[in-house]
Structure formats: structure tokens, C-alpha cells
Amino acid sequence: MRLLRAWARAARSSACGENASSRNVWPVWKNTPVRDGPADFPPELVVQVKALACELPATHDLPLSRWSITDLAQYVSRSGLVAQISGSTIWRWLHEDAIRPWQHRTWIFPRDPDFAAKAGRILDLYERRWNGQALQDDEFVISADEKTSIQARRRKHPTRACRPASPMRVEHEYQRCGAWAYLAALDVHQARVFGRCEAKNGMAPFDRLVEQVMTRPPYAGARRVFWIVDNGSAHRGSRATARLQQRYPGLVLVHGPLHASWLNQIEIYFSIVQRKVLTPNDFPDLAAVADRLLKFQRYYESMAKPFEWKFTRQDLQQLLSKVELAAA
């Protein structure tokens, strides 16, 4: 039940925890009613409400996917924990511990048993190390992947450029004019980009991308060229490693863990392409898409610098520790 309001002694606390009662600091006594503060409710209730907010509503037979402040206040009252409580009071309690049950984010828990080892190899390569040894000047690190289904959308009305007090206007309706698979490789330490547009993804298109890189200097005569890739069908497993090393003995295929594309720096480049080249998507045909993608590579190289990758093995261990706690 809600406790009766009490007359509280209001005094300022010093840094050491004692109350200051000097006349020039704060009045000694104030007859001010305390409203909805911690004195109104016992600490046990605050703990119960916070614990309730950290549980899924379905565990309490509620047809909700997540809590809101209003839902929490209603459930706390109906369950008999308290006769009446305001949403602002519950929000203040949750805010103390940064509990926000009304928010959510998608997450893929690591399921690769060798996640730490595989991810660690990639992080070492970004620091120009392999098996505990520093890379030589004639050794390079390539990050490669495919960005599939890049459509050419022909708008049914011409796009209008921006004007004073008016943004660019792009027609909502469009006609589909086909799609490309954009394959790209990034030299992570020199910010060089190699890419090509293919009608579809697969081993043959990926092999053509590898040939495009490995037949050019300085990669053609390099001691070793490390290729960081995911586990896509075009370059998965030991078969892909054997196939590519037969053609290019200096090529070392490095597979990342499952569901860890965020470790592959080429994904950062793809996000730049999405923002700067493909949004808004307004192309008359596929040829225009390919032309802009390939021209952007040279445009990007003219001003790009290697990404400042700061995620290290230590950060990885801390992240995996948090994931283990979240999964427990």
C-alpha cells in the first residue's frame, strides 16, 4: 500500500555525508511534504519493480512483446504490490539503473566454437601480425566480399534537384531494370579498392575478382597476400583454399567466424557505397549502375585513408565475456 506522506527534514548534505545546517547554506527545518520520492515506497518495492522490468511480459502471461511504463504501472497495481503508483515514479526508478525495457535490438549470439581464434587472426592481420610475427613490407592484407542484388530502379518521374527550402525530390514509383552482384576487395593498409559487377554471385565471379587483384603489382610478386573472407559459398572451406592456392601460391585465405561480417572491413566500404552511390537509387539501366560503382572506386581512392580500426583482441575478449553473461 502507498505509505502516508510524511513531513521531512530538508537539509543539504556535505561531501562526507553529514548534513550542513549553517544559516548561510540552507535552512535547518523545512515543512515540505515529500512527493513520490524514495520515502513514499519501501526499497523492497523498488527492487521488485526493477526485477519485473527485466523479465519478459510473456513470463507473466501478458500478451505483450515488451514492457512500457504504462503497462508496468498497471501490472504492478493489479498484482497487489502497491495500490497505486505513477508511471513517472517507475520511470525514475528504472532510469537510475538505465533499464529501458521498451527498447530492443537484434543480436546474433556467436555460435562458432572457434569464434575467438578466428576473429583473433583477423584482428592480428589488421595490426599487421600473423602467428605472432610482424608482416613484411611485401605482404598485404585484402578484405573481400560480395554486395548482392544491387538494383537499377528507373523512376517514373525525373528526379528533381534541391532548391531553396526544398530538398531533392525522388519519385516513389519505379521500374526494375535488373540487378548486379558487386564484388569488391579492399587493401586495408593502403586503401586501394578493386571491384567488378557480375550478373550473379558464385565461384567463377569471385575467382575473377581474385585474378583482378593477384595479377597486378605489387600483389603479383608479393611474398604473401592474406584474403579475409566470410563463409559464403563462393569461398567456403578448405576446397576454396586449395583451389585458389593452386593458382596463386602466395595467397592465404582467412575465413572469419560465422555471423561476424562486422569484422570484415570491406563491409565499411559497402556502407559508404550504399550512402554515397546507391541512395537514392535512380538509374536508367544496369550499365549506369556499373559505371557509377566503378568510377566511385577511383574517386574514393583519390581521397581515402585506411580505416582507423581500433577493435583489438582485448576488446574481443571483453565483448565475448558480456555475451556469455547475456546468454546465461
| HSE toward the beta carbon, residue 262, CA cutoff 13 A | 6
CATH 3.30.420.10 fits 115-325, yes or no: yes
> Per the structure block, which three cell numbers stand in for 143?
578484405
Whether the upstream peptide bond of residue 280 has omega within 30° of 0, thus cis, is: yes
What are 8's strand-pairing partners? 32
| Residues in Cβ contact with 60 at an 8 Å cutoff, skipping those fewer than 6 apart | 52, 75
Helix (H) or strand (E) holding 124: helix 115-126
At residue 21, the pLDDT reads 47
Determine the average pLDDT of the residues in 13-39.
Answer: 45
At residue 3, the pLDDT reads 46
pLDDT at 225 over 90: yes
Q: What is the three-class DSSP state of 161?
A: coil
pLDDT at 32 over 80: no
- Cα maximum dimension of the chain: 87
Chain-centroid distance of CA 88 in Å reads: 31
For 16-70, give the DSSP string: TSPEE--TTT--S---EE--SSTTTS-HHHHHHHHHHHTS-GGGGT-S-SS--HH
Encode 162-176: b = buried (16+ Cβ within 10 Å), e = exposed.
eeeeeeeebeeebee
Q: What is the three-class DSSP state of 153?
A: strand
Give percent of the chain above pLDDT 70.
87
Q: What is the residue extent of each domain of the chain?
A: 7-96, 115-325
What are 141's strand-pairing partners? 226
pLDDT at 114 over 80: yes
The alpha carbons of the chain give a radius of gyration, in whole angstroms, of 30
| pLDDT band, residue 328 (cuts 50/70/90) | low
Task: State the CB neighbour count (10 A cutoff) for residue 126.
Answer: 20
Asked if 273 and 292 count as a contact pair (C-beta separation under 8 A), the reply is no
Asked if 219 and 225 count as a contact pair (C-beta separation under 8 A), the reply is yes
Whether the upstream peptide bond of residue 218 has omega within 30° of 0, thus cis, is: yes
For the chain, the straight-line distance linking the first and the last C-alpha, in angstroms and rounded, comes to: 35
pLDDT at 40 over 80: no
CA distances from 68 to 38, 63, 94, 122, 130 (A): 21, 13, 11, 41, 49
Q: What angle do CA 176, 178, 180 make, to 5 degrees?
A: 135
Helix (H) or strand (E) holding 282: none
- Give the pLDDT confidence of 248-304 residue by residue, as tens digits: 999 999 999 998 999 999 999 999 999 999 999 999 999 999 999 999 999 999 999
**What value does the mean pLDDT of the chain take?**
88
What are 133's strand-pairing partners? 130
| Least confident stretch, 26-35, 91-100, 213-222, 292-301 | 26-35
